[in-house]
Amino acid sequence: MREFLLLIRSEEEPKANLSPEQMQQHIEKIGGYLKKLTEEGRMKSAQPLEMKGTMLSYKNGQIVDGPYNETKEIISGYYHLLAKDLDEAIAIAKQDPRFDEGIWRMEVRPIKHVEGIN
Amino acid sequence: MNNPNFTTSNELTSHFFRNEYGKLVSVITGYLGNAYVETAEDIVQETLLKATEHWEMKGIPENPKAWLYTTAKNLTLNVLKRKKYQRDYESLANQKPEMDETGFFSDELIEDSQLKMMFSCCHPSISENSQIALILKILSGFSISEIANAFFSNEETINKRLVRGRLQLRKIKIDLSQKFDVDKRLEAVLKTIYLLFNEGYFPANKNQVIRFDLCLEAIRLARLLEESTVVGNKTDCSALLALMYFNASRFASRVSDVGEIIDLKEQNRSKWDSKLIQTGMWYLDKITLTKTITKYNILATISANHCIAETYKKTNWAQILSLYDQLIILEDSPITQLNRSVALAEVKGTQVAISTLETLGEESDIDNYFLYHFTLAELYKANKAFAKARFAYNQALHLAKNPRDKELLKKKLDELVLISPSQLS
């Protein structure tokens, strides 16, 4: 099993315009998906990220706040999971019910692992 | 493993978000004032959004209600601290932080605020259209697009109704401690709830679920009134609840698998929901001892008669007819006359019913209503007057607006063609 980091990206907040009923359905759908992955022992961690925070850069010899991304896209959460290979991780990511609502992007990245060193 | 919540499985009760939305908006509007109802709506939408962000990843907490109330309380206090409210609500903002969320959103306050909101939304100064839109948006937590969907309307129209309604809300002050005021205004509230129920009761092909939700919402709101301590005379609340439970029991049998509407005559009675019928009977029993006969009382008893009848033919039509006769004394409207004619046909024969309806058509403007022609057509057909039946079905088809109704009428016309030639031979 290899480790993967799945970064959930969206522009602004796709859930902001959902109705209360749709929000509840969203929680129940995603919850069911994560519960299944947790029970299978694949999900090591799933966390939402606050919409606030900062971007630190090294510029002209010092650390500064910013610059921020040019686009409005923001990482709103991540999954840390186990899969056989990249293909399987992608297959798992595609099953995330949030894609039913469109407007989401997900970055699937294998966590680097070098035999004998890590 | 840092997802402990997924190992326990807390679940949300159905429509939890929607119901909590109504409670929270009502209470927060109480703190901010009616003029800021939209701010309250925004606060609660943000509360639910925060909950969604956390719960989708971390699972549903042990006590989801307390989670929402704490978040909503903090957001409300932040708003109260902002300048534009400070002059009026300074003392409130200063005194509330010590209150925990159970005090901020106490059961008593939730009940009172919801009732106050219900009476405000149904105030006679607000148009009927806006009343229903306000109730659904504020008390029932429907989104604008969900309301538009349920009413075959568009978001712009619904939003206009809400904007106009909110403007009126600013001027309304309801004092629930005045029993006289409450009972006087109750009629208008019940009327709006019944309208809401009827909006949901007409089945549609596409949004069947959301329309049944409207019926359930109407029932939930009526129960708030029936169970409240501020309403003095609850006869009409109980009667309306009985009526709505009886009608709701037939919901599943009223539409075929392909979405066509099914007449009471042809419904599969085994599909009627006996639990809902029992609940209806329980409410009807509560008011059997009251002496006053009201509209909802009569309508509920008529519906009960249908619920307990084994078949359409075995229905106690004589009693239903006498109930309609009583109803006409209270409220003589062409619609009531039209409904009465169905019972009249069963008791006194189709010819009597036809003559009554023909006279009614000449004396009122009910002949602009497609159901008038539809009812007449059915009676003509039963009387084997096929040419007249065809003409009446066509009139109904011409007047019907809803595609679903048009489809049913076309089907009826086709059936007529199949029957009538054999009658000639």
Decide which of B328 and A57 is more confident.
B328
**Domain A2-110, CATH number (from 3.40.50.1370, 3.30.70.1060, 3.40.50.970, 1.10.3470.10):** 3.30.70.1060
Q: What pLDDT digit, counting tens, does each position of B260-314 carry? A: 778 888 899 999 999 999 999 999 999 887 777 889 999 999 999 999 999 999 9
Q: Between A20, A31, A39, which is nearest B21 by CB?
A: A20
Cβ distance of A23 and B54 shorter than 8 Å: no
Output the CA angle B40-B44-B46, nearest 5 degrees.
Answer: 115
B221: closest CA of chain A, how far (Å): 18
Cβ distance of A34 and B51 shorter than 8 Å: no
The number of angstroms, rounded, from the C-alpha of B333 to the middle of its chain's C-alpha atoms is 21
A31 touches chain B (CB under 8 A): yes
A64 touches chain B (CB under 8 A): no
Q: Token digits for B121?
A: 């939304």
Decide which of B35 and B92 is more confident.
B35
Closest CA to B211 of B252, B256, B170: B252
Q: Looking at residue B87, what is its pLDDT?
A: 52
Cβ distance of A20 and B48 shorter than 8 Å: yes
Closest A-chain CA to B137:
A19
Q: Which amino acid is residue A6, in one-letter code?
A: L
B58 touches chain A (CB under 8 A): yes
Within B135-178, residue ranges assigned H as helices are 144-150, 155-169
Whether pLDDT at B6 is above 90? no
Q: Looking at residue B18, what is its pLDDT?
A: 93
Q: How would you classify the pairing of strands A56-59 and A62-65?
A: antiparallel
Range of weakest confidence among B210-219, B311-320, B345-354: B210-219
Closest A-chain CA to B49:
A16
A36 touches chain B (CB under 8 A): no
Question: How sure is the predictor about B394, in pLDDT bands with cuts at 50, 70 and 90?
Answer: very high
Residues comprising chain B, all counted: 425
Q: How far apart (Å, rounded) are the C-alpha atoms in residues B423 and B384?
A: 9
- Which 8-state DSSP code applies to residue B204? -
E strand spans, B20-94: none
Closest CA to B339 of B353, B352, B351: B353
Question: Which residues are CB-contacts of B316 (< 8 A; sequence separation ≥ 6)?
Answer: B305, B309
Q: Looking at residue A70, what is its pLDDT?
A: 60
Q: What is the mean pLDDT of chain A?
A: 88
Burial class of residue B247 in the structure, from the number of CB atoms within 10 Å of its CB (0-12 exposed, 13-18 middle, 19+ buried): buried
Q: Between A13, A20, A43, which is nearest B17 by CB?
A: A20
Torsion angles phi and psi, residue A21, rounded to 5: -65, -40
Whether pLDDT at B425 is above 50? no
Closest CA to A32 of B6, B14, B3: B6
Whether pLDDT at B358 is above 50? yes
Q: Which amino acid is residue B125, in one-letter code?
A: S
Cβ distance of B52 and A28 shorter than 8 Å: no
Question: How sure is the predictor about B39, in pLDDT bands with cuts at 50, 70 and 90?
Answer: very high
Q: Which amino acid is residue A65, in one-letter code?
A: D
Cβ distance of A15 and B9 shorter than 8 Å: no
A32 touches chain B (CB under 8 A): no
Cβ distance of A38 and B143 shorter than 8 Å: no
Burial class of residue B46 in the structure, from the number of CB atoms within 10 Å of its CB (0-12 exposed, 13-18 middle, 19+ buried): middle
Q: Between A20, A22, A48, which is nearest B53 by CB?
A: A48
Mutation target vs B (from A6, A8, A12, A19; most B CBs, 10 A cutoff)? A19
Torsion angles phi and psi, residue B326, rounded to 5: -65, -40
Other CB atoms closer than 10 Å to residue B316's CB: what's the count? 17
Q: Token digits for B23?
A: 């409670």
Helix (H, G, I), strand (E, B) or coil at A4: strand
CA dihedral sign of residues B265, B271, B277, B278: positive
Q: Looking at residue B7, what is its pLDDT?
A: 55
Q: Token digits for B244?
A: 């709505």
Cβ distance of B145 and A19 shorter than 8 Å: yes
A91 touches chain B (CB under 8 A): no
The number of angstroms, rounded, from the C-alpha of B156 to the middle of its chain's C-alpha atoms is 22
Q: Looking at residue B195, what is its pLDDT?
A: 86
Decide which of B93 and B123 is more confident.
B123
Q: What pLDDT digit, counting tens, does each position of B223-260 carry? A: 999 999 888 889 999 999 999 999 999 988 887 777 77
Question: Which residues are CB-contacts of B333 (< 8 A; sequence separation ≥ 6)?
Answer: none
B135: closest CA of chain A, how far (Å): 15
Q: Domain segments of chain A: what residues? A: 2-110
8 A C-beta contact, residue B262 and residue B256: yes
Q: How far apart (Å, rounded) are the C-alpha atoms in residues B359 and B381?
A: 19
Whether pLDDT at B178 is above 80? no
Residues of chain A found within 8 Å of residue B60, distances taken between Cβ atoms: 27, 31
Q: How far apart (Å, rounded) are the C-alpha atoms in residues B327 and B299?
A: 8
Q: Looking at residue B252, what is its pLDDT?
A: 84
Q: Looking at residue B96, what is its pLDDT?
A: 56
Q: How far apart (Å, rounded) are the C-alpha atoms in residues B107 and B98?
A: 18
Decide which of B12 and B152 is more confident.
B12
Cβ distance of A21 and B18 shorter than 8 Å: yes
Residues of chain A found within 8 Å of residue B49, distances taken between Cβ atoms: 13, 15-16, 23
Whether pLDDT at B177 is above 60? yes
Q: Looking at residue B97, what is its pLDDT?
A: 53
Residues of chain B found within 8 Å of residue A81, distances taken between Cβ atoms: none
Q: Token digits for B153?
A: 């309307």
- The rounded radius of gyration (Å) of the Cα atoms in chain B is 25
8 A C-beta contact, residue B137 and residue B22: no
Q: Token digits for B70?
A: 């704490």
A2 touches chain B (CB under 8 A): no
B18 touches chain A (CB under 8 A): yes
Q: What pLDDT digit, counting tens, does each position of A55-112 carry? A: 888 888 889 887 666 667 889 899 999 999 999 999 999 999 998 876 889 999 999 9
Q: Token digits for B383?
A: 């009387």
A24 touches chain B (CB under 8 A): yes
Q: HSE-up of A17 (CA within 13 Å, CB side)?
A: 8
| Percent of chain B topping pLDDT 70 | 89
- Residue A56 pairs with which residues in a beta bridge? A65
Other CB atoms closer than 10 Å to residue B52's CB: what's the count? 23
Helix (H, G, I), strand (E, B) or coil at B338: helix
Q: Looking at residue B424, what is its pLDDT?
A: 47
Mutation target vs B (from A6, A24, A25; most B CBs, 10 A cutoff)? A24
Q: Looking at residue B210, what is its pLDDT?
A: 60
A52 touches chain B (CB under 8 A): no
B97 cis-preceded (ω within 30 degrees of 0): no
A12 touches chain B (CB under 8 A): no
The pTM (predicted TM-score) of the whole model is 0.81
Whether pLDDT at B1 is above 50? no
B268: closest CA of chain A, how far (Å): 32
Closest CA to B264 of B204, B321, B313: B313
Q: Between B17, B143, B146, which is nearest A24 by CB?
A: B17
Q: Which residue has the tokens 């290979």?
A: A85
Structure ipTM: 0.86
Question: How sure is the predictor about A41, in pLDDT bands with cuts at 50, 70 and 90?
Answer: very high
A50: closest CA of chain B, how far (Å): 9
Q: Looking at residue B205, what is its pLDDT?
A: 47
